[in-house]
Amino acid sequence: MPTLRELLNSSIQTLQNAGVPSPEVDARELVLHALGLNRTALLTRANEEISATDAAKVAALIEHRAARIPLQHLIGEVEWGGIRLKTDARALVPRPETEVLLTLARQNVERRTWNVEKHSDHDPRSTIHDPLTILDIGTGSGALALALKAALPDAQVWATDISAEALALARENAELNGLEVHFELGSLFADLRGPFDLIVSNPPYLPAADKLTADPEVRHDPEVALYSGSDGLDLARALVAQAGDFLAPRGTLLLELDPRNVRQMAQEMRGWHTEVWPDLTGRERFLNAQREH
């Protein structure tokens, strides 16, 4: 029977041979998940022998990962934005860069609230709803909507998605975290009336041609959550065209887009004041917009 160290090393080698981008990290996560161990065990129990049954559990997970099934699908959940999320093929796996969008949304609310408290006696247009109203369009697993609700428990949060399967997963994640979000099935603004103080969205933004060169893991995500026309902006354009009718006075629209097309979207938004912000690697990705009138 192999020791824990031997099992981990052989798992790493299998993933390396399969071309998995991060074989050491993924092998470690899968070994620990299969055996129900914490990271300390890799040091304190490295020389312990692993039973044939447990070794088979590890081998099965490693085989699936070598076939390029996403790590998050195999583990079944991910820590994201301060909450736990179930992850599977029903919705896009939440990406680390989208946590920046979450941070920008929270900062926007904090800055807006501070401005209201400072200027409300002088400018009645600065008022915001009580409670704060937030809408997440294309919620997928519910990541953004639920993380915002967790961070802003007094806010009223709505979320829409065109996929019934994705919304089912989002509702499961809401129950998992004990959070109340109003979910609506439908495209973009569905049957909502607004107005909303903050609208956030991580819509599909990849050009259709990217399907030809997508990493194997990406092919396990729903295509409807990834691709949006020849330049990746079909859905974003439709969203922007309607957003002004659903924003409260001085409300904010926050979008995550592709570094290749975020500037194009900003340039097309006539009648909006726009800012483009970078992700943690310095690539322009996020669009902050308010109506000029």
| Mean pLDDT score, 63-70 | 96
The CATH number that applies at residue 106 is: 3.40.50.150
Q: Provide the pLDDT for residue 128.
A: 52
Angle at 239 between CA 236 and CA 243, to 5 degrees: 135
DSSP, res 286? E
Angle at 203 between CA 243 and CA 246, to 5 degrees: 15
Q: Which two tokens stand for residue 175?
A: 């129950």
Q: Does 118 fall in a domain?
A: yes
- Say if residue 179's pLDDT is above 90: yes
Verify that 102 and 63 share a domain, yes or no: no
Verify that 39 and 125 share a domain, yes or no: no
Q: Which residue has the tokens 């819509």?
A: 203
Q: Does 84 fall in a domain?
A: no
Q: Provide the pLDDT for residue 257.
A: 98
Verify that 145 and 280 share a domain, yes or no: yes
Q: Which residue has the tokens 């736990």?
A: 84
Going by the annotation, the residues of the binding site for substrate are 202-205
Verify that 102 and 146 share a domain, yes or no: yes
Q: Where are the alpha helices (DSSP H) in 36-80?
A: 41-44, 52-66, 71-75
Going by the annotation, the residues of the binding site for S-adenosyl-L-methionine are 138-142, 161, 202
Q: First vs last Cα of the chain: how many Å apart?
A: 71
Verify that 134 and 175 share a domain, yes or no: yes
Q: Name the residue with higher pLDDT: 183 or 126.
A: 183
Q: Provide the pLDDT for residue 122.
A: 47
| Mean pLDDT score, 191-198 | 92
What is the Cα–Cα distance from 118 to 100, expressed in whole angstroms?
27
Verify that 119 and 241 share a domain, yes or no: yes
Verify that 25 and 152 share a domain, yes or no: no
Q: Provide the pLDDT for residue 1.
A: 87
Nearest to 181 by CA among 243, 136, 247: 136
| 24-to-10, 12, 224, 288 alpha-carbon distances in Å | 10, 5, 31, 37
| Mean pLDDT score, 64-80 | 96
| Mean pLDDT score, 143-165 | 96
If one counts the domains in the chain, the total is 2
| Mean pLDDT score, 28-52 | 92
Range of 169's domain? 98-291
- Say if residue 280's pLDDT is above 80: yes
Q: Provide the pLDDT for residue 138.
A: 96
Q: Provide the pLDDT for residue 131.
A: 83
Verify that 241 and 125 share a domain, yes or no: yes
Q: Provide the pLDDT for residue 41.
A: 86
- Say if residue 124's pLDDT is above 50: no
Residue at a domain's end among 21, 52, 67? 67
Q: Provide the pLDDT for residue 139.
A: 97
> What pLDDT, in 10s, does the model give residues 239-254?
999 999 999 998 999 9
Q: Does 249 fall in a domain?
A: yes
CB-CB neighbours of 71 under 10 Å:
22
What is the Cα–Cα distance from 16 to 239, expressed in whole angstroms?
42
- Is residue 224 within 8 A of residue 162, CB to CB? The reply is yes
Verify that 220 and 264 share a domain, yes or no: yes
Q: Which helix H or strand E contains 173, and what residues bound it?
A: helix 164-177
If phi > 0 it is left, if psi is from -120 to 50 it is alpha, else beta; for residue 173 that is alpha
Mean pLDDT, the chain, whole residue set: 92
Nearest to 162 by CA among 135, 136, 140: 140
- Is residue 90 within 8 A of residue 42, CB to CB? The reply is no
Going by the annotation, the residues of the binding site are 138-142, 161, 202-205
Q: Provide the pLDDT for residue 125.
A: 43
| Mean pLDDT score, 18-42 | 94
HSE value, Cβ hemisphere, 13 Å, CA-based, for 204: 28
Verify that 35 and 113 share a domain, yes or no: no
Q: Which residue has the tokens 């973009």?
A: 188
| Helices and strands of the chain, counted as H and E runs | 10, 9
Give pTM, 2 decimals.
0.88
Verify that 204 and 286 share a domain, yes or no: yes
- Say if residue 117's pLDDT is above 80: no
